[in-house]
Amino acid sequence: MNCFKQLLVGMLILQLILGSGGLAWGQVSRGSGKGDKGTAEGKSPRSMQGGGVRPGKSGGGGREGGVESLAPAKDKLPGGRALSRAVVPGQYILGPGDGLIINIWGEFEDIYEVQVTPDGKINLPTVGELKVRGLSLTQAEALVETQVKRYYRNVKSGLSLASLRVFEVSVLGAVSSPGTYLATPVKRVSDLIAEAGGVVQGGSWRHVQLRREGRTVAVADVSAYIRRGDVDANPTVEDGDVVYIPPMGNMVVMVITNEVAVSPQSGQVTENSAPSNVELREGERLADLFSELGSVSAWWKLEDVYILRETTIPEGTMKIPVDAKRLLYGGDESQNIELQAGDQVFISSNVRRVFVNGMVTKGGAFPYVPNRTAEEYLGLAGGVSLQASLGRSTINHADGTVEPFRSNTILQSGDSIQVAQKYFATPADYVGLIGGAISLVFSSFAFLTVLK
- Indicate which CATH number applies to the domain containing 305: 3.10.560
Q: Other CB atoms closer than 10 Å to residue 334's CB: what's the count?
A: 9
d(CA 130, CA 220): 34
Amino acid, single-letter form, for residue 298: A
Q: Is residue 195 part of a domain?
A: yes
Same domain, 333 and 373: no
Given a cut of 70, is residue 38 above it in pLDDT? no
Q: What is the mean pLDDT of residues 428-434?
A: 55
282 in a structural domain:
yes
Q: Are residues 409 and 397 in the same domain?
A: yes
Q: What's residue 181's pLDDT?
A: 95
Can you tell me the distance from the alpha carbon of 355 to that of 393, in angstroms, rounded to the nearest whole number? 14
224 and 307 together in one domain: no
- Out of 143, 163, 183, a domain closes at 163
Instruction: Kindly state whether residues 363 and 336 are assigned to the same domain.
Output: no
335 in the same domain as 221: no
Say how many residues make up the chain.
452
In a domain, 93, yes or no: yes
What percentage of the chain carries pLDDT values higher than 90?
37
- pLDDT value at residue 192: 95
C-alpha distance from residue 363 to each of 186, 354, 359, 378 (Å) = 58, 11, 8, 9
d(CA 186, CA 235): 9
Radius of gyration, alpha carbons of the chain: 40
Q: What is the pLDDT of residue 444?
A: 61
**Dist CA 393 CA 374 (whole Å):** 11
Q: Domain containing 47 — which CATH number?
A: 3.30.1950.10
Tell me how far apart the alpha carbons of residues 184 and 427 are, in angstroms, rounded to a whole number. 82
Asked whether residue 176 is assigned to any structural domain, the reply reads yes
Q: What is the pLDDT of residue 41?
A: 41
Domain of residue 224, CATH code: 3.10.560.10
Torsion sign across C-alpha atoms 429, 435, 436, 437: positive
Residue 438 lies in a domain: no
Tell me which residue of 72, 86, 94 sits closest to 144, measured CA to CA: 94
| 27 within a domain of the structure (yes/no) | no
Contact 222, 189 (CB under 8 A): yes
Boundary of a domain, candidates 146, 163, 180: 163
Q: 312 and 380, same structural domain?
A: no
Q: What is the pLDDT of residues 201-253, one digit of tens each?
A: 889 999 999 999 989 999 999 988 988 888 889 999 998 899 999 999 889 99
Is 333 a residue whose pLDDT tops 70?
Answer: yes
Question: How many C-beta atoms lie closer than 10 Å to residue 267's C-beta?
Answer: 21
For the four alpha carbons of 329, 333, 338 and 342, in that order, the dihedral sign comes to negative
pTM score, whole prediction: 0.56
pLDDT surpasses 90 at 452: no
The answer on 216 and 193 residing in a single domain is yes
Mean pLDDT is lowest, of 250-254, 271-275, 386-390, for 271-275
Same domain, 361 and 335: no
Q: Is residue 26 part of a domain?
A: no
414 and 378 inside one domain: yes
Output the average pLDDT for the chain: 78
Backbone angles phi, psi at 369, to 5 degrees: -125, 125
Burial 161-184, CB ≥16 within 10 A → b, else e: bbbbbbbebbbbbbbeebeebbbb
Classify residue 443: in a domain, yes or no. Answer: no
Both 48 and 139 in a single domain? yes
Identify the pLDDT of residue 316: 83
How far is residue 214's CA from residue 450's CA, in Å, rounded to a whole number? 115
Over range 318-327, report the average pLDDT. 92
Domain ranges, residue 361:
353-421
Same-domain status, 318 and 412 = no
pLDDT in tens, 168-208: 999 999 999 999 999 998 899 999 999 999 999 889 999 99
**Domain termination site, one of 347, 367, 397:** 347
Q: Which residues have C-beta within 8 Å of that of residue 326, sequence separation ≥ 6?
A: 303, 332, 335
Number of domains in the chain: 4
Q: Check residue 61 and give its pLDDT.
A: 34
* SS3 per-residue string spanning the chain: CHHHHHHHHHHHHHHHHHHHHHHHHHHHHHHHCCCCCHHHHCCCCEECCCCCCCCCCCCCCCEECCEECCCCHHHCCCCCCCCCCCCCCCCCECCCCCEEEEEEEECCCEEEEEECCCCCEEEECCCEEEECCCCEHHHHHHHHHHHHHHHCCCEEEEEEEEECCCEEEEEEECECCCEEEEECCCCEHHHHHHHCCCECCCECCCCEEEEECCEEEEEECHHHHHHHCCHHHCCECCCCCEEEECECCCCEEEEEEEEEEECCCCCCEEEEEEEEEEECCCCCEHHHHHHHHCCCCCCECHHHEEEEEEEECCEEEEEEEECHHHHHHHCCHHHCCECCCCCEEEECECCCEEEEEECECCCEEEECCCCCEHHHHHHHCCCECCCEEEEEEEEECCCCCEEECCCCCECCCCCEEEEEECCCCCHHHHHHHHHHHHHHHHHHHHHHHHHC
In this structure, the answer to whether residues 294 and 365 fall within a common structural domain is no
